[in-house]
Amino acid sequence: MSPLQIHNTLSNKKELFTPINGKTVKIYACGPTVYDLSHLGHARSAITWDMVVRYLRFSGYDVIFTRNITDIDDKIINRAKELGIRPEQVAREYTFGYWRDMKALNIGLPDFEPRATEYLSQMIAFIDQLIKAGHAYASEGDVYFDVSSFKEYGKLKKQRLEDMLVGARDLAVSQQDLQERKKSPLDFALWKGAAAGETGWQTPWGFGRPGWHLECSTMIADVLGDTIDIHGGGEDLVFPHNENEIAQSEALHKKPLARYWMHNGMVNIDAEKMSKSLGNFKTIQDLLQTYSPDTIRLFILQTHYRSPLEFTAESLQAVKNGLQRLIRAANGVSQDDAEKLASQMQVAESAFTKEELRKVGAAFAEAMDNDFNTAEAVAVLYGLADQINTTAEIEKRLSHIYALQLYAGVLGLTLEDTSQNLDSATSQEIMSLVLQIRQEARAKKDYATSDLIRNKLGALGINVMDTAGNGAAWERS
């Protein structure tokens, strides 16, 4: 097994990755709250975990990957009010939207994808256990986690309780009535009371809905177990979300929630974080109008997952241009090669075992083993493209094409050549051009040429029909 190193937010260091149980790796990543269209920030997060899962599987691990969907939340309820529809409808619409976008971006399906509304009974049981264990208390229809009961609170964010209290003071002033129900401003809601008629569920503590952090703790315990190998999420979730997950789960189970905590960096626009609240986001749907899924993925993977990623149209265009070279190389530069490629992939696969490609594989693995350094891994892909383009030896070309496709695939890049896919407007123009050339041949009484065109088109399933005075019309037969 490879000597994979992973940066762990808990220790703030790179650590050698060793799974709890042999080759099995249990991963949980925080998914979206479905109240609006997904944007590039969601894409970065999803692509990051997709890349991690793909590489771990490529390295020989059996990965169990779980990603949740938060489908009940204040933001969803507020959105529903704005739109005048039920929260369930909002959640359903944007859940489908998320799935559509993830599929478009070639992101693999998680092995489990629990939704918060499927976990009410488990969440209620979780709260009940926390109360019985003295880690939570009910207060006027709400239930709060007692932060003072969990000594390690703040270990992920690495902030002392006293310092956090200072920070929480302003909030306490602005939300006086809320704070009066809590023992400490740092205590967070496990359950929020709701008025009758609002969306909610009945519990021993009253009618209401779950706090946001609770679902992740509950789902992890239910789907994967008390301690998982890797927990992933956006950097902005470190505090309070992930910190609170740790508090809930570890207070109850007395075991570490996750051994490795991984966090992806934010996407910035004009040096500011892309976020819903700032309104400066680019939706995945919008981006896909202009850029291919591979372009978006390569744009994200050319930066290390923990670094901030600056979004500009220029850099996305630059990636698009660079990707062209990889695609051309991966699909054979000439038509000849493309045809041979299909029939000789077997040859390529056997040639792939040769020594020179071992070095390429080692370079790729070395990059990825270093905390998933995809920027370096991408450089390996470009190196392969150079090799392909500078040799005329067919066997070497094929084996390197095989390697390029293989490693690109580990990064989730398809390198699919869509350069010859024509839209219908373009097809119309081309037919118009062909028929114009044919018309000029007929005008010169060059019937050999005009008949050749008509017969060839006929063989392609296109009927050409000459008219008396309006040139020729065509249709698919």
Number of residues that bind RNA (CB under 7 A): 76
- Is 341 near RNA (CB under 7 A)? no
Q: In the range 13-72, which residues lie near RNA by CB under 7 A?
A: 30-33, 41-42, 44-45, 70
Which of positions 192-221 make contact with RNA (CB under 7 A)? 212
Q: At what angle do helices 293-301 and 374-390 cross, to 10 degrees?
A: 120
- Pick one of 16, 196, 271, 342: the residue that binds RNA (CB under 7 A): 271
Instruction: Output the CA–CA distances (angstroms, integers) from residue 104 to 24, 85, 152, 287, in the order listed.
Output: 28, 27, 41, 11
Is 283 a binding residue for RNA by CB under 7 A? The answer is no
Which position among 328, 361, 434, 439 is part of the footprint of RNA (CB under 7 A)?
A: 328
136: left (phi over 0), alpha (psi -120 to 50) or beta: beta
In 24-104, where does DSSP find H-type helix?
Answer: 40-58, 74-83, 87-104
Residue from 373, 414, 439, 449 touching RNA (CB under 7 A): that is 373
Residue 317 as a binder of RNA (CB under 7 A): the answer is yes
| Residue 157 interacting with RNA (CB under 7 A) | yes
The residue within the footprint of RNA, chosen from 3, 22, 134, 167 (CB under 7 A), is 167
Q: Which of 2, 227, 283, 315 binds RNA (CB under 7 A)?
A: 315
- Contact by Cβ (8 Å): 38, 32: yes
Residue 155 binds RNA, judged by CB under 7 A: no
Give dist(CA 237, CA 212) in Å, integer.
Answer: 12
The distance of closest approach from Cβ of residue 353 to RNA in the complex, given in angstroms and rounded to an integer, is 24
Q: Which of residues 239-258 bind RNA (CB under 7 A)?
A: 239-241
Q: At closest approach, how far in Å is the CB of 302 from RNA?
A: 5
Which of 161, 168, 178, 288 contacts RNA by CB under 7 A? 168
Assess 10 for contact with RNA (CB under 7 A). Answer: no
The residue (of 235 and 250) whose beta carbon lies closer to RNA is 235
**Which residues pair with residue 112 across a beta bridge?**
66
Do residues 410 and 58 touch, judged by C-beta distance below 8 A? yes
* Six-digit token string for 295: 């372009």
Q: What is the CA 374 to chain-centroid distance, rounded?
A: 15
Query: 7 or 54: whose CB is closer to RNA?
Result: 7
DSSP calls for 259-314: EEEEEEPPEEETTEE--TTTT---BHHHHHHHS-HHHHHHHHHTS-TTS-EEE-HH
Q: Which is nearer to RNA, 33 or 95 (CB)?
A: 33
**Taking Cα atoms as reference points, which of 136, 116, 130, 138 lies closest to residue 249?**
130
